[in-house]
Structure 1
Amino acid sequence: MKKTLLAQALCASFLSTSLVVPAFAGEAELMQKIEKLAAELESIKAELAANRQQTAKVEQKQEALASTVASSAATASASPGQAAAATVISSYGEIAYTRPRDASNQAQTDVARAVIGITHRFDSKTKMVGEFEWEHAIASKDDNGEVEVEQLYVEREFENGLRAKAGLFLMPVGLLNTSHEPTAYFGVHRNFIETAIIPTTWREAGFGVSGNYENGLSWDAGLTTGFDLSKWDAAKTDGREKPLASIHQEGQLAKSRDLSVHGALNWRGIPGLLLGASVFSGKAGHGTTDFAANDARVTLWDAHARYTPGNWDLSALYARGTISNTEALNLTFVGQVTPVPSAFFGWYLQGAYKVWSNTDYSLTPFLRYEEFNTASSYSAVPQGLGVAASDAEKVTTLGASFRIGEGVVLKADFQKFKRDSGMDRFNLGVGYSF
């Protein structure tokens, strides 16, 4: 039909042109008529091409619609609990610039972390979760970077809100450990309580169960690996800065003779309010040969609250840890700088208020005060052989977060240290999450 239309148009144009051109027309006039005829021909060809494109688009839409209908029919015909498989890619990352107030300390910029997550749902009740992290940009034997598996577990949902999982997963402790993307917290750096007292992104390998109820109550419990106190290095200061992070096993050939238990309760029965607490406990000696603290036990607990009425975001957290039966071990560390503490603690109060927002941006200043002590006491040793307990550090952080949409945040803050003013610093950061 298209060819017939083109032929008719050409004939009509030729005949009409022939009638207008007299036999005695000059060569120039004849060329003008030919050029006009050629232009009309090109116009008709362009119109036909446009019609073909439109037809192709309609056919593509019809094919897509048919595919969607077929997929929906297949899902609907599947047995209960056997929804179509789906894989979701997620990611978060952050880069920070830190400038100490003391000019003798070097300012630095760090690609703190980049994380790729993969969640695959085998059916409506079974899924796999994996997260893979790169820290400090470059990982090699000569660099400070690390590559690590942050999470890797499978989970099955049952009736009445009950779930069970097995693998490597984050401990349900505090406010930050299970929700630590840069868009989820205030400040360029994570707060000290949930890094120095509660190890940040603390994960263990094992089994866990959890549940939630319509009244807003949820709970978690599990049996997992724990800490390895034989990793403690009394000659370095790592244990003084972050006691539990220095003996964290992270699922790497983790000693598992002594397993640990954990439990957590959270209540969200009032809109915008979260109240919760958690506890973790387990031996940390693992029957290690010639080790003086095989009966040592690590226990950590916390209580936390968050309230978000309107533009406000208010939170508070207290955490305390103990390491028991370390007397004999610390006697072997006499004369070294970092014996094992018997207790450590920390707490913070934080308030933020969204002062401005529109559909694309928001600005939220915040103020946080925190106090923490990573070695508040030591087990008793003979007089003159021990190390004095530390004084608590007190840090005030004032800053703001500038959100761009839902997935990007720019941050700036200033941190004032009470005990060691040489640590005062100005921070800038950018982070994303999707």
Structure 2
Amino acid sequence: MRPRSCFVRSSLLLCSTLVFSGTVARAEAPAGPQAPPAPQAEPAVEPPSAPQVEPAPSAPAIAEPAQPAPVPAAPPATPPLGPTRPKIDVYVTAYGELQFAYFNYGLDQNRAGGAQRDSRIEFDTNRFVIEVKGGLPDYGLEAEVEVEFEHGGTGSAMELEYEEFGEFDQELDKGGEILVEEMFLSKKLGANAALAVGRFYVAVGTLSEFSRPTDYLGTNRDEAETSIIPNTWDEMGVRLRYKFPWGLRLTGQLVNGLDSTGFSSQLWSAGGHQRRFEVQRATDMALVVRADVTHFDGFTFGVSAYHGDTTRNRPKADLVKSCEEANPREVAPCGYVSAPLTLLDAHLSVRKGPWSAKALVMYGHLKNAELVSQRNARLSNLLGVIRTPVSDNALAVWGELGYDIASVVGLSDSHHLFPFVRYDYADTQFKPREELYDNPRFRRSVYTVGLSYNLMNVAFAKLDFGHRRLGSSAFRPENTLRFATGFNY
């Protein structure tokens, strides 16, 4: 019986020791009677001081190495050469426009009774425009470039060749043009102001703000505005904008002036845009001021003014004052004839709920228009200008009104369908001087009705019918049916 009692006593002592140390899971004592080595374990638990063994207090010290050892810091990376490249934001937008048109009149509108009756169709790759913006937001800088491809072709350039007795030499490629309409660098001045330097749109009229095909309802830009000033008029200079928090936007520009050799009876100052030569003359500068009220949601209305001389931007110094004892070493020893151009307009744009509307009234005045006309009549044929008398004054009025019926016909909010009406009036010989015959041919009224559709302002299609009447019933009316389609993103 001693072996069994010894085994029991040894087992009890071993269990008590394991429980005391908290490591029961590590016990390897046999559970059955075949444990002869048990008597050898007795000396390990025999001492009465076994319960006072000190491992328990040191248990936290044993667990301490389980905590992760601190990782030594990585050596600092080699600093890059030069400053860190700042964040750059880049945006690309574009729009394209195709047009198909039917005309019931001939091309020659200068006949006694107006254009002859005709039936002709024209297809046109009207324009493709791509715009790229890149900015450094951390520095408040932004660059913008806009390039327009008109009628799918390249353009022409003209040079003044003094070695060929001062004649004009013009090099022609294919029909159409490639134009850099905008290229400027803008810098924010605080939260509400921005200063730009480069080529940008002149802040006159409605087309400086609404030139994309989804901005207006007709197949073409308004005829009234483009009859007296350049279409999407852009020049080089300096621009300052300021936006008041309560809804007023002010724009001031100092740009190169127009060239009065391009002024005419039919297009007034529109032909004065300096596109015939490789560089723009800026001896005569122009000042532009514009104010737009944007406080009311969906409504924008305002006024603009333009004033600048046009004499010293002519290709040749041919509009100068005559005087005695002129110094032959000077180009204009007695000075130039002053021919400043002044433009004033009031404009409105509405996009509220299903309604869409735009309107403009523009008045223009040219000082010394008679002297400009006399000199233009003697210009070279190779210059490519019309050389007809230019009026002292011009007037343009236009407006369009449309209502979105997409929801009425069951289309979703992604679709917009505008039946619309438009009226254009242009008089490029408005109240001329007494010496100039007030030709009714240059008073034009155009009545247009149509339908304009666009999908999320990305894809569009337009169909309209225009009826043009000249200033006298002696001239035959002209009808046009147009369809335009394209994209905008």
Taking structure 2 as the reference length, the TM-score comes to 0.66
Instruction: Find the counterpart in structure 1 of residue 318 from structure 2.
Output: 290
3-state secondary structure, aligned to 1:104: strand
Equivalent residue in structure 1 for 2:449, among 398, 406, 413: 398
CA-CA distance at 1:118 after TM superposition: 1.1
3-state secondary structure, aligned to 1:330: helix
Partner letter of residue 249 of structure 2? S
1:303 correspondence with 2:346: yes
Partner letter of residue 401 of structure 2? G
Q: Is the 8 A contact 1:98 1:108 kept in 2?
A: yes
Q: Is the 8 A contact 1:101 1:422 kept in 2?
A: no
Instruction: Find the counterpart in structure 2 of residue 98 from structure 1.
Output: 101
Partner letter of residue 418 of structure 1? R
1:171 correspondence with 2:185: no
83-92 or 334-343, which deviates more: 334-343
Partner letter of residue 318 of structure 2? D
Equivalent residue in structure 1 for 2:217, among 183, 186, 199: 186
3-state secondary structure, aligned to 2:261: helix
Q: Identity, % of aligned pairs?
A: 23
Instruction: Find the counterpart in structure 1 of residue 141 from structure 2.
Output: 126
Partner letter of residue 85 of structure 1? I
User: Quick one: distance in 2 between partners of 1:261 and 1:398?
Assistant: 37
1:390-430 CA distances to partner (integer Å, 9 max, x unpaired)?
45211111001111232111000000112255421000001
Q: Is the 8 A contact 1:339 1:387 kept in 2?
A: no
CA-CA distance at 1:432 after TM superposition: 1.5
3-state secondary structure, aligned to 1:414: strand
Please state which structure has a larger fraction of its residues in helix: 1
Alignment of 1:273-422 (within 5 A): 273-286=299-312, 288-291=316-319, 294-332=337-375, 338-356=388-406, 357-381=411-435, 386-390=436-440, 392-419=443-470, 421-422=476-477
The two structures, once aligned, show a CA RMSD in angstroms of 2.4
Alignment of 1:75-90 (within 5 A): 84-90=87-93
User: Quick one: distance in 2 between partners of 1:165 and 1:181?
Assistant: 22
Partner letter of residue 408 of structure 1? A
User: Quick one: distance in 1 between partners of 2:422 and 2:210?
Assistant: 18
Partner letter of residue 424 of structure 2? E
Q: Is the 8 A contact 1:171 1:178 kept in 2?
A: no
User: Quick one: distance in 2 between partners of 1:134 and 1:128?
Assistant: 20
Equivalent residue in structure 1 for 2:154, among 117, 120, 139: 139
For structure 2, the 5+ residue unaligned runs are 1-82, 106-116, 156-171, 321-335, 379-385
Q: Is the 8 A contact 2:339 2:372 kept in 1?
A: no
93-102 or 393-402, which deviates more: 93-102
Q: Cα gap change, 1:229/1:160 in structure 2, threshold over 3 Å: closer, same or farther?
A: same
1:241-262 CA distances to partner (integer Å, 9 max, x unpaired)?
3222211115941111111100
Partner letter of residue 249 of structure 1? Q
Q: Cα gap change, 1:334/1:91 in structure 2, threshold over 3 Å: closer, same or farther?
A: closer
User: Quick one: distance in 2 between partners of 1:283 and 1:337?
Assistant: 19
Equivalent residue in structure 1 for 2:190, among 147, 154, 159: 159
CA-CA distance at 1:316 after TM superposition: 1.8
Bigger Rg, structure 1 or 2: 2
User: Quick one: distance in 2 between partners of 1:294 and 1:359?
Assistant: 58
User: How many residues are aligned here?
Assistant: 345
Partner letter of residue 120 of structure 1? G
User: Quick one: distance in 2 between partners of 1:332 and 1:105?
Assistant: 39
* Runs of 4 or more consecutive aligned structure 1 residues displaced over 6 Å after TM superposition: 334-337
